[in-house]
Amino acid sequence: MMTATQQQTTPWGMRLTVASLVFIGSASAAQANQVDLPYQQPAQDIIDIVDAAPSPGASVSPGGEYLLIQQYPALPAIEDLASAEYRLAGMRINPDNNAISQSRYIQGLELVNINDGSTTTINGLPQDARIINTSWAPNGEYFAFLNMQPDGVHLYRVDVDSGNASRWSDVQVNALRTTSIQWQHDSQSVYLMAVDPDRGAAPEANRAPSGPVITESRGRTAPSRTYQDLLQNSHDEALFEYYFNSYIARVDLDGDLEYLGQSGIYDSFSLSPDNQYLLVTELNSPYSYAVPHFRFARTTNVWDTQGSPVYQVVDQALADDLPISFDAVVPERRSISWRNDADSTLVWAEAADAGDPRNDSEYRDHVYQLSAPFEVDPAHLMSLQSRFSRLAAADEENAIVYERWWSSREERAWHVDPSGQRDAHLMWERSWQDRYNDPGSPMMTRDNRGRAVVYLNDGEILLSGAGASDEGDRPFIDRYTLETGETERLWRSESPYYERALSLLDADNLVFLTQREAVDEPADFYKRNLQSDELTALTDTDHPMPHTSGISRELVHYEREDGLAMSATLFLPAGYDKDRDGPLPTIVWAYPREYRSSADAAQVSGSPYEFNRISYWRPQFLATQGYAVFDNATMPIVGEGDNQPNDTFIEQLVMNSEAVIKAGVDLGVSDPDRFALGGHSYGAFMTANVLAHSDLFKAGIARSGAYNRSLTPFGFQREERTVWDDPQLYLTMSPFFSAHQIKTPLLLIHGAEDNNSGTFPMQSERLYQAVKGLGGTSRLVMLPHESHGYRARESVLHMLWETVEWLDEFVKNAEE
């Protein structure tokens, strides 16, 4: 039942379930015990890692004069997570302020002048600022932001010249479906979603129901993956309508507020580039108890700027019957947007195969466009052999259309003439898992209305990419000629730095905003001039955790038994010398990924020159406790040709594990008898499976995983087959059904309020019960108020304490 979270757990109270251990460090007991244990904290050097300031974000003003630095706080306290919460239609909301519950927010703002490097502190920011979006005016003279407070979300405006912030309007923003602030191109007003000022009190639930909750299906195929937080009854529907009901509102520079049209359950809105129309999508009843809001029926209309509908783009039915294939889409018009370069031209895709990839069809999608006043038939832009992904336009004669087909991992990019004077030209065709041959993405610039368009100069565009290679990522900027497909490398990140282009500041002089870092230098923002080869620092960030600077990091390469190249990032304790100190206890942390090509699976990701920021979420922090850490160890699951990756899932997991163990032993840094394996989510699923099907490790740590695939019968992760298609596959891949083979000590941690599809908290509870009932060694820790990822400082510190205690007992101090 979807009700506000009222569980009153004191900040320092927590229920832990323990099997085989009465208390950590005590003698083993013959039976399972349940104990009360307050939140615990790990060693101070780990606490300091958790409390280190996160890396700031930034955005560039139109015209490239200012850089807005956005500073984020460290982790919130458990009290922040214990706020009221409703769970409606696949979303978790805070009913007190009409915002998403547990939203990440910006705590501080600072302006940097890109030309001279001077900084301006913003005056007048609200106390305890919790900023959830910022938006520049097209003229660059202002930026707006939304401030989330306990009683609502408020609109602020900052005057850039003075650096003064002030409450712009008393409008109450509805931040449930979008936090978008859309400026008119004259910078005189903004559009946003607003709470209905006349909505009254929230509906109350009747203690006595009016009747049972009934759903019905009569021969209609309606598969769905395992969703959580769905609507459950008529009161949930009433709450959904109450909290999601909005007006689209306009606020001018004087703060005058105007509500447009009628209130409704609006999912999104978008202002046309010429500011003459609004593209508005509204969710329609009856709602579904089987799928989340993004599958609800919806109508998309074009409005004039007074809120009157002028054209209906689509009336889409409830999408609860889509095939579970990742290439399945709704049969109606979809991916509807304004063409970014034109005054008011709509672009959308429409399935040529009724949205079902099982249907034979020469084409999969048709792409159309339609210009105001929307009184003629839509113009056919092109037909695609796979699914439309996106369109990025430069001008009326030049745009790029992307298409993808998930099952083959294929991507194509087309140079298209929206005016219809030239045929589409194929720019490239590739596997989107092939990072080594990724040509990059087009760099954008702003037109005279402040709209982002593809930068185009004399038939040439600029591409920026990650530059993946065997030596790691080396970001680049290329010049690409649209007519010939020829490329010219303008710049590439050079050792000992990792630098990437963020935006184009001055197209004529090839000046870019970049972010650069080195192993011992945190990321800072720079202005890089490619013509003069000048590099100017705009920020100077202190090392957020100097006590970790001695921890070493190395990208290591190795092969598994069948010759597939693999890699991992190896972290070693500060001052460690393998000849002097000998091999260490070792933790391997991984996440399985499926590939259709061995060549793609073997590719390296990451850079050896990135800042060595020690993570508490991943196991890197264990290097402070005397462990060798193989982080992000590649765990490829490959299926080529007619073979699906999961056909040999278990065999490949074990082979991958053997390879990384051998790598650590061959390097002389790892004790072969003191290895642990861990992972989060699908990595937890991996961990339980490896422990069930091998004795390679001394201990396992599985966080927020799913272990019984019969509870996700319509597919999971990237598996498209259902349990009825291949019941043996589901049985074999479920460590729950092999729990009798899990004899390696297994620590299970799970957020008690996990909302991720398939990873119900009971997944960990049931595996723990199975291992306990079969005589294995396991410990189950349920973290109150936490979802799939853990956010409260108390929760994270306790998770780290549990991890260290478990590994110290079963790995570091393992009996010979």
Q: Which residues contact 214 (CB under 8 A, 6 or more apart)?
A: none
Q: Under a CB-based contact definition with an 8 Å cutoff, are residues 454 and 442 in contact? A: yes
320 catalytic per annotation:
no
CA distance 487 to 440: 11
Going by the DSSP 8-state scheme, the letter that residue 543 receives in this structure is P
Active site residue 681: yes
Q: Which amino acid, residue 387?
A: R
User: Which spans in 667-742 are helix H?
Assistant: 682-693, 727-733
Alpha-carbon gap, residue 136 to 138, rounded angstroms: 6
SS3 content of the chain, % helix, strand, coil (to 5): 15, 35, 45
Task: Indicate the helix (H) or strand (E) that contains 769.
Answer: helix 761-773
Residue with structure tokens 């696949």? 90
Angle between helices 682-693 and 649-666 (to 10 degrees): 80
Report in angstroms the alpha-carbon separations of 375 from 311, 346, 360: 9, 13, 33
With 0-12 / 13-18 / 19 or more C-beta atoms within 10 angstroms meaning exposed / middle / buried, residue 360 is exposed
**Amino acid at site 660:** V
List, in sequence order, every residue forming a beta bridge with 35; answer none if it has no partner.
16
Burial of 377 (0-12, 13-18, 19+ CB in 10 A): exposed
Q: Exactly one of 754, 785, 787, 795 is catalytic; name it.
A: 754
Place of tokens 């020829």: 486
Q: Of the residues 61, 681, 704, 778, which is catalytic?
A: 681
Those residues whose C-beta lies under 8 Å from the C-beta of residue 143, and which sit 6 or more positions away, are 61, 68, 134, 135, 136, 137, 157, 158, 160
Task: Choose, from 103, 234, 335, 788, the residue flagged as catalytic.
Answer: 788
For 333, 395, 585, 692, the CA distances from 343, given in Å and listed in that order, are 21, 11, 63, 60
The 10 Å CB-count burial string (b at 16+, else e) for 671-690 is beebbbbbbbbbbbbbbbbb
Q: Which of 774, 633, 703, 804 is nearest to 45 (CA)?
A: 804
Joined together, the tokens standing for residue 307 give 């809120």
The strand ranges marked E within 573-683 are 584-590, 593-595, 628-633, 636-638, 670-680
- Respond yes or no: is residue 808 known to be catalytic: no
| Interstrand relation of 636-638 and 593-595 (parallel, antiparallel or unpaired) | parallel
Question: How far lies 456's CA from each of 275, 291, 397, 507, in Å?
Answer: 24, 42, 11, 9
Give DSSP secondary structure letters for 698-719: SEEEEES----GGGSTT-BTTB
Residues with catalytic roles: 681, 754, 788
